[in-house]
């Protein structure tokens, strides 16, 4: 079987909505000096930032009770096996805010560094959006859902699987192609990076539905006890 190549999105267009982002960082609009510093940082980030993503179209060889074999690589996740059901295709990916804004860090005050992290998060969001649109367009898939190692309760798809994603499904080329490195403790650098798999689906799914963590500011879906109970059983969800 012909091996699919890695597709790199390295010129992702982005827009930073200064008003919305100022609200997100609770900028004190009465403080002219702070507002000026905020505008200056926003312009610098707009000038140098370059969010990116890489993905690879992968063939699913087999799906069993608690693992999914993708091109000979065994991914350990009962939830993934259930959600994939009979599908034989998934997309391994990594997306990032990019490394370029690191050049700004040394000159920033602590508050500005906090702002920078928010701006990087927005860049990452837009990189992920561009990745979804590109896969949908190329492969004519109307709806994509995803999973990431370490998201949801610990056993949904363990973080330890991150190295399989980077080194095997993405061929060990993520650093070379988009600048994201994986540390020994399996953290991604830059921190505002995301990796995982995407696949076609008819229903919404997010690992947050299978996550007991309380008060998570990033939660995207309510905990779903029915889905969680089904995820403990040896059957497909579809
Ligand atoms: S609720 Fe928070 S910690 Fe849990 S999977 Fe969602 S984003 Fe991650």
pLDDT tens digits, the chain, 238 residues: what are they?
556 799 999 999 999 999 999 999 999 989 999 999 999 999 999 999 999 999 999 999 999 889 999 999 999 999 999 999 889 999 999 999 999 999 999 999 999 999 999 999 999 999 999 999 999 999 999 999 999 999 999 999 999 999 999 999 999 999 999 999 999 999 999 999 999 999 999 999 999 999 999 999 889 999 999 999 988 876 554 4
Phi and psi torsions of 77, nearest 5° = -165, 110
Q: How far is the CA of 216 from the centre of ligand 1 (A)?
A: 6
Q: Cβ(154)–Cβ(213) under 8 Å?
A: no
Count of H helices and E strands in the chain?
7, 9
Look at domain 6-231 and name its CATH class.
Answer: alpha beta
Residue 122's pLDDT is what? 98
Q: Are 53 and 130 in contact (CB under 8 A)?
A: yes
Predicted pLDDT at 3: 60
The encoded tokens of residue 188 equal 């991604």
CA 134 to chain centre: 15
Note the pLDDT of residue 85: 86
3-class SS at 182?
strand
The model carries a pTM of 0.93
How far apart are alpha carbons 121 and 74 in whole angstroms? Answer: 31
Q: Is 231 within 8 Å of 157 (Cβ atoms)?
A: no
**pLDDT of the residue at 27:** 93
Which residues are registered as beta bridge partners of 104?
none
Q: What is the pLDDT of residue 232?
A: 85
Position 235 scores a pLDDT of: 55
Domain ranges of the chain: 6-231
3-state secondary structure of 41: helix
Residue of 209, 220, 221, 228 to mutate, ligand 1, most atoms within 8 A of C-beta: 220
| Helix-strand-coil split of the chain, %, nearest 5 | 40, 20, 40
Give exposure, 80-92, as e/b (b: 16+ Cβ within 10 Å): bbbbbeeeeebbb
Residue 98 Ramachandran class (φ > 0 left, ψ -120 to 50 alpha, else beta): left
Q: Is the beta carbon of 151 within 6 A of some atom in ligand 1?
A: yes
Residue 64 has a pLDDT of 87
Cβ of residue 210 lying under 6 Å from some atom of ligand 1:
no
- Ligand 1 touching residue 207 (CB < 6 A): yes
Tokens of 106: 């040394």
């Amino acid at each position: 079987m012909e091996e699919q190549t890695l597709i790199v999105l390295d010129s992702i267009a982005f827009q930073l909505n200064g008003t919305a982002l100022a609200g997100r960082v609770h900028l004190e609009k009465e403080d002219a000096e702070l507002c000026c510093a905020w505008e200056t940082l926003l312009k610098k980030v707009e000038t140098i930032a370059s969010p990116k993503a890489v993905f690879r179209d992968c063939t699913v060889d087999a799906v069993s009770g608690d693992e999914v074999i993708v091109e000979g690589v065994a991914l350990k996740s009962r939830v993934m096996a259930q959600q994939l059901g009979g599908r034989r295709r998934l997309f391994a990916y990594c997306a990032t805010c990019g490394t370029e804004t690191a050049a700004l860090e040394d000159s920033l005050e602590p508050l500005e560094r906090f702002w920078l992290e928010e701006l990087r998060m927005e860049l990452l969001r837009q990189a992920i959006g561009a990745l979804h649109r590109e896969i949908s367009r190329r492969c004519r898939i109307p709806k994509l859902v995803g999973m990431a190692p370490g998201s949801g309760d610990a056993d949904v798809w363990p973080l330890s699987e991150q190295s399989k994603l980077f080194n095997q499904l993405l061929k060990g080329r993520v650093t070379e192609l988009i600048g994201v490195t994986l540390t020994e403790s399996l953290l991604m650098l830059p921190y505002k990076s995301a990796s995982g798999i995407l696949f076609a689906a008819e229903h919404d799914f997010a690992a947050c539905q299978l996550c007991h963590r309380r008060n998570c500011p990033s939660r995207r879906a309510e905990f779903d006890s029915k889905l969680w109970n089904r995820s403990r059983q040896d059957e497909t969800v579809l």
